Amino acid sequence: MRKYFQFIILFLVAVLIIWFFGRNLDWALVSASLRRANLYYLGLAVSFICIGYFLRALRWQVLLSPITKSSLKELFATTTVGYMAIFFFGRAGEIVRPMWLPMRDRRVRPSAALVTLGLEHIFDMAALVSFFAFNLLWFTPQPGREKEFEYVEILGWLMLAAVILGFVALIFYQRISPRVIAWVDRVTRRLWIPARIQKIAVSIL
């Protein structure tokens, strides 16, 4: 019964979204545009988007695996819902994914979903910085702007060094995490921090 109720709610949300974006559209123009569109390219684009979401869901499952088991199907569904929320609300919609997944998969705690989402962003940022730094090996500034781009190159290598040091710090933390968590647990208990907040802090660590 609960699943039927969820389906009805999600169906109504989908109808609302279609109405919201379609109310001011010229449907005759949309229809004419779709008739001229290359269905092969459209299908290819949709396929690439779905594959991208699937790979993101798979990566999320890998990040969750040291903490808990998770369903790839629910991760894929949550990923698509999360990116829809980002489309509507911008980066504020990021919070939807770690809140939605525990409702779909009871094995995943909100703190685990939140931490792994943070790790996703760390890896994304590290990949972008690495690509940027790698590109600097072949980068040639425009004549007369060598001094200006010299600072860009220095900044790029500094960012790459920061990423490397960041991953070294994470590896080091992984080795000493039991002691750090035990220490934070003791300190937060002495400071009369509410039990729920203390538990969330320790879970995130």
Residue at token pair 């790839």: 72
Q: Which amino acid is at 179?
A: R
Q: What pLDDT is recorded for position 59?
A: 93
Residue at token pair 């980002």: 86
Token couple for 17: 């979204």
Does residue 122 lie in a domain region? no
In angstroms, the CA 146 to CA 149 distance is 5
> Are residues 181 and 202 in contact, defined by beta-carbon separation less than 8 angstroms?
yes
Does residue 8 lie in a domain region? yes
What total number of domains does the chain contain? 2
For residue range 121-175, what is the model confidence (pLDDT) as tens digits? 888 888 988 888 888 877 777 777 777 777 788 888 888 899 899 889 989 998 9
Q: What pLDDT is recorded for position 54?
A: 95
In angstroms, the CA 129 to CA 167 distance is 13
Helical segments of the chain, H only: 2-22, 27-36, 39-64, 72-89, 96-104, 110-135, 146-190, 195-204
What percentage of the chain exceeds 70 in pLDDT?
97
Mean pLDDT, rounded, for 33-47 = 89
Does residue 125 lie in a domain region? no
Q: What pLDDT is recorded for position 2?
A: 67
> Are residues 133 and 160 in contact, defined by beta-carbon separation less than 8 angstroms?
yes
When pLDDT is cut at 50, 70 and 90, the band that residue 3 belongs to is low
Query: How crowded is the C-beta side of 22, counted as CA atoms within 13 Å?
Result: 10
Does residue 128 lie in a domain region? no
Instruction: Look up the domain containing 170 and give its range.
Output: 136-204
Same domain, 53 and 99: yes
End-to-end CA distance of the chain: 37
Same domain, 15 and 86: yes
Does residue 120 lie in a domain region? no
Does residue 118 lie in a domain region? no
In angstroms, the CA 30 to CA 14 distance is 19
For residue range 74-130, what is the model confidence (pLDDT) as tens digits? 999 999 988 888 877 777 778 888 888 888 888 888 888 888 888 888 888 889 888
